[in-house]
Amino acid sequence: MSEIHVFKHHAMATHFEVRIAGEEKTYAAQAAQAAFAVTDELESKLSRFRANSEISHLAQLGLGETMRVSTPVFACLQLAKKMETATRGAFSICAAPGRAQKDFPKWSLEKFSVHCESGKLEFDLGAIGKGFALDRMADVLCEWSCPAFLLVAGGSSILAGDAPENTDGWSCGLGDDGSPQRFYLKNISLSGSGLSVKGAHIFDPRTGGAALRKNRAWALADSAAESDALSTACMVLDEAEILEILAVEKTWLVFLEENKNARPLGSRALPENA
């Protein structure tokens, strides 16, 4: 197996890690820094904790007002809309902020602009922003001709590129590093959600109540933004609802934790066991 170079960076209130295989170390380091630069730029635009970010400016929109946003912000919000629709409202970037408002935030997108239809658009992109950043980082690494990579955000979201030479993929587990359930991942994303680290921080946008699921959930998808949002939605969906969604979205796969093991749901083929 070719040497794997590991690089780390702090952004979006978490740690990002880039692993690159099959490249000279100095070149790999330059490619990783270019990828990290993307996370810093996205944080400046997407963070609700940055007063001058576009997301913070959107929160100041009044009813009926419209604001033009940059290409990456529009793309992230488009994905958030897509995931809200696909999960039948179980995922929403307004879930937590909306609980404190009389009128739940409603908004629409058109021609790189966001239109406020009700409430305050206090978006929280925490459940999709890191995955979106991993997808953009992957684009950068491919531009640098570094296709064999593994990207990690906070330990809860993983995006695998091509497999390192002479391997079946990147060995990744469900949950802790010592998890007995491990898979070889390549050109796919895996994200996990749970309550053990941050406590009751996930809310059901449909009811305003806290997540019903106490055990962890993981999601496999082609993009990190999708797997990130889907794993969050699975914390508030019951199993029947998840199966209905997976019957339509056949490129997704979900794992639900039961008795310290994870049971797969969906028709997508399981990755090879590691």
Q: What is the pLDDT of residue 199?
A: 44
Q: What is the pLDDT of residue 106?
A: 93
Q: What is the pLDDT of residue 200?
A: 56
Q: Residue 264: is its pLDDT beyond 50?
A: yes
Q: What is the pLDDT of residue 201?
A: 61
- For residue 198, the Cα-to-chain-centroid distance in whole angstroms is 16
Can you spell out the DSSP letters for the chain? ---EEEEEEEETTEEEEEEEESS-HHHHHHHHHHHHHHHHHHHHHH-TTSTTSHHHHHTTPPTT-EEE--HHHHHHHHHHHHHHHHTTTS--TTHHHHTT-SS--EEEEETTEEEEEES------TTTHHHHHHHHHHHHHHHTT--SEEEEETTTEEEE-SPPTTSSSEEEESSSTT-S-EEEESSEEEEEE-STTT-S--B-TTT-PBPS--S-EEEEESSHHHHHHHHHHTTTS-HHHHHHHHHH-TT-EEEEEETTEEEEESSSPPPPB-
Which residues make beta-bridge pairs with 255? 218, 264
Average pLDDT for the chain: 93
Model confidence at 99, in pLDDT bands (50, 70, 90)?
low
- Mean pLDDT over residues 25-42, rounded? 98
Q: Residue 100: is its pLDDT beyond 80?
A: no
Per-residue pLDDT of 123-169, as tens digits, reads 999 999 999 999 999 999 999 999 999 999 998 999 999 999 999 99
- Mean pLDDT over residues 80-97, rounded? 90
What would the two tokens of residue 96 be? 């937590």
Give the gyration radius of the chain's Cα atoms.
19
Q: Residue 271: is its pLDDT beyond 60?
A: yes
Q: Measured between alpha carbons, how far is 234 from 213 in angstroms, rounded to an integer?
A: 8
What does the domain layout of the chain look like in residue ranges? 49-118
What would the two tokens of residue 224 be? 């990190």
Q: Give which of 32, 31, 54, 51 is closest to 42, Cα–Cα.
A: 54
Neighbours of 249 (CB within 10 A): 18
Q: Measured between alpha carbons, how far is 126 from 130 in angstroms, rounded to an integer?
A: 7
What would the two tokens of residue 162 be? 């091509």
